[in-house]
Amino acid sequence: MNIIKAIIPYIIIIITVVVIRTYVLTPVIVSGTSMDDTLKNGELLLLKKYDKSYERFDIVVFDYGDSKLVKRIIGLPGETLEYKDGVLYINGEEVEDPFALATKDFKLSDLNIDVIPEGYYFVMGDNRSNSSDSRIIGPISAETINGTTSFSLWPFGPVE
């Protein structure tokens, strides 16, 4: 009986850690250079799994095949999107995007769609010349998004 009393706190700790990691926060490692200079290959991020309110320019981690990709949300459901002459246009309005200058001209019609479908997001890497993103794979489903990140555990500090 004393052994059971001694083990109970450890079982509670293990269950708590598993629940937090499964539903709240989990570490994720950046793989590749598609988010340079914002994020570096091998950087350890803290993923907020509970955050399901995605906004433009949030950095998200999502499932793509057998991989987890890290990209920035550019377009939201129901929007039109175009890059022209280094400028981002959402619904025909110019939107400031610090990475737009490095972006080749692009329109949603290049993907044979007019509007980002409901429940989908248009994502891009910050290293626009070296990123397999929605320009190639199309908009991503909200169901594939694991969460958002705004904090790096290594190197320690906020992610912008």
Confirm whether 152 is a catalytic residue.
no
Confirm whether 34 is a catalytic residue.
yes
Active-site pick, 34, 48, 131, 134: 34
Is-contact 29 42, C-beta < 8 A?
Answer: yes
First-to-last C-alpha distance (Å) of the chain: 52
Instruction: Extract the tokens encoding 109.
Output: 């019609």
Cα distances (Å, whole numbers) of residue 21 to 12, 26, 80, 122 = 14, 5, 36, 27
Is-contact 102 129, C-beta < 8 A?
Answer: yes
In degrees, rounded to 5, the angle at the alpha carbon of residue 38 between the alpha carbons of residues 129 and 22 is: 110
Active-site pick, 48, 71, 131, 134: 71
Instruction: Extract the tokens encoding 151.
Output: 């904090």
Amino acid at 128: R
**Which active-site residues does the annotation give?**
34, 71
